[in-house]
Structure 1
């Protein structure tokens, strides 16, 4: 293969890099074209240098493949391959079997992780490094409910959580040094609900599918906690919705999440406070779900596991949880309004947002670049940074 610098046409060199980036991200030409909203013929012409590519289109392609725009202008041949970290290689290899929307999600994740690495370096912030593993890695085998409940209890004890509800799992993970990302990973049985892997500098990375229902977020995050604590010896764990009841690895994490969010002692205490031994009415499920910060469906499943349902499961079907909660005096939760996209604090690691603001304050990054990294507009970032100050000043002189 000739060195790209030897090619007569710069379009040919750029086209070759476009093709290599697409193949690196495991997209077929048809998948990539569909995701970009262009024809396969147009993408083919870009890759063969027969058609000039606009800057905006090049930026969109870079985002889709999870590479910086500069990637397309770096010489590369068979004897001068760019280095790719083991974690990135593992993710891109696993992405080969995924649907195109999930491939795009993995590529987006990789791009954001590179941005976070750059933020650490730019602000001279020490990297977290590999975390301490408080529990031994578990083999991929079946476990009894008693064993899984005991694992969840051990984890709660380790983090001094007791039996109290954990109402904001994302904030808890941020406080423990996890890097938590919300990424669109598709819908349906073959979509990813989330994933986990260890980054050599950033530590534990947890991802949850932003596309799934809001009510699933706490459960998915708790599911990934199980992988981070008991399956940390794997290069990465990608969790398909379809595998959560068929793979022992996934089944363990699913049941762990249930016991972690609603601990046995905590559930028993709540039932005693409600002066009931078993749950017989949907209204009682709402009270329990709201207390523990889980979905109505998750509460029903958990009650069934502990044999605390005192009526047929049919009694609890066909319920509209939001409407029923309102009738019981509960205020609607933010996620119940279905507002998207999520705020940066809800879809990015806390440290990502913090370091972005530091870089802006120190003049290391422009406002536009920080807004782009956070996935918001320049105006929204300005409002976040200066809006409240302006309002406070006006009130002070009123």
Structure 2
């Protein structure tokens, strides 16, 4: 079937506009002449196969999307996202989101090819008490994951991935954005957590986006902001789910009386639960375990940053490895994802060229990455 040049050009132009990039910026990044790009977008010139591959790589999109009228990409969801919240996303954040969606699709492909299907988890709410939906779903998911009432989920990212949500942490320029959820037409449920946030806030944000994956996937896309939810029932439900998943009410009620905690004891409990003091204060108030004065006091406390634990940056790393892995996490490259990519390469599912693309790096950087993760590129 012949390529519809008008449709192809329109897709390329729309992606460029979504990313707020000029023709000259795309020309500089891809090496394709600006005049040729203009003609391709106008549907006046048929791009070469190399042109399509280069542009698909630049826009982090499956090249088949551009040359087919049947294949879909998450374009409609991001278009909806930017239409509703366009002013909240800086130019670099739009590029970060495009990278995130590419990582989700690659992760989904590798999981299927390597035979790593997620567990099934579904929850159907009843009634119209939204906060009750969140509480019940959190209890159900904790049970499905094998947690008793006292268990503290150590690596929520791994747990949410295990039930079919692609979770990536990526640094965003807008610190007011906690995370976002997108229903990818190929990869399915995808959650982005802003890596710019505090480590424990990121855990809460991941759980919040997990709630959107459970309840709101039919809406396609949503953005979560730092701050009170107001009267937004979907956000209230997601916050309640996150709170109950991380701090089950039945567990909180078994704690020593929180009104009698010292500041140090409060910080210790928050750190044991891997949550911020603000989140702990809200949960204790919701459970009617503290008075207003203690609520206000606990909210003002902070867990020392050096005491916080990140499951994806374990203590066994040396200082150099820790800095390097922290930077990779900012780009969205989790240990789980990197491990899948190297497994895909060693199993012959992807080539070394595709491995470099999947890890958002050049061929020259692959050796360093392989060494950091204890993997082999040669003689695999």
Q: How does 1:1-398 map to 2 (within 5 A)?
A: 20-24=11-15, 26-27=17-18, 31-33=20-22, 47-48=37-38, 62=56, 65-67=59-61, 82-85=69-72, 88-97=75-84, 98=86, 99=89, 100-119=91-110, 124-126=113-115, 128=117, 132=120, 134-136=122-124, 143-144=130-131, 148-163=134-149, 164-189=151-176, 191=177, 193-197=179-183, 202-232=187-217, 234-241=218-225, 244-269=229-254, 271-272=255-256, 276-309=257-290, 311-316=293-298, 319-322=301-304, 331-334=307-310, 340-343=326-329, 347-348=333-334, 350=336, 352-367=337-352, 369-375=354-360, 377-384=365-372, 386=374
User: Which moves more between the two structures, 277-286 or 59-68?
Assistant: 59-68
Q: Contact 1:170 / 1:221 at 8 angstroms: preserved in 2?
A: yes
Aligned to 1:208, what secondary structure does the other structure show? Answer: strand
Matches of 1:27 and 1:346, distance apart in 2: 20
By how many angstroms is 1:368 displaced? 5.4
Taking structure 1 as the reference length, what is the TM-score of the superposition? 0.68
SS of equivalent residue, structure 1 residue 207: strand
Q: Does the CA-based 8 Å contact 1:64-1:104 persist in structure 2?
A: no
Conserved? CA contact 1:198–1:205, under 8 Å: yes
List gaps (5 residues or longer) in structure 2: 41-50
Going from structure 1 to structure 2, the CA distance change for 1:319 and 1:294 (only over 3 Å counts) comes to closer
How far, CA to CA, are the matches of 2:165 and 2:184 in structure 1?
10
Which residue does 2:43 correspond to in 1? none
* SS at structure 1 position matched to 2:130: coil
Check conservation: 1:183, 1:210, Cα contact below 8 A: yes
C-alpha separation between the residues in 2 aligned to 1:62 and 1:174? 27
State how many pairs are aligned.
344
Change (3 A) 1:369 1:210: same
Does the aligned pair in 1 maintain the 2:152–2:246 contact within 8 Å?
A: yes
How far apart are 1:341 and its partner, in Å?
1.9
- Aligned-residue offset at 1:346: 7.2
Partner secondary structure for residue 134 of structure 1: coil
SS in 1 for 2:139: helix
Is the 8 Å Cα contact of residues 143 and 252 (structure 1) preserved in structure 2? yes
Cα pair 1:195 1:207 within 8 Å, conserved: yes
User: Per-residue deviation at 1:363?
Assistant: 4.5
- How far residue 301 of structure 1 moved from its aligned partner, in angstroms, is 2.3
* 2:121 and 2:141 in contact (8 A); partners too: no
Q: Deviations over 1:285-329 (max 9, x none)?
A: 211111111123222222232233354445346545317xx6xxx
Cα separation, partners in 2 of 1:132 and 1:151, compared to 1, 3 Å: closer
Instruction: Report how far residue 211 of structure 1 moved.
Output: 3.3
- Measured after TM superposition, the shift of residue 370 of structure 1 is 1.8
When normalised by structure 2's length, the TM-score is: 0.70
Return closer, same or farther for 1:322/1:64 CA change in 2, 3 Å cut-off.
farther
Larger Rg: 1
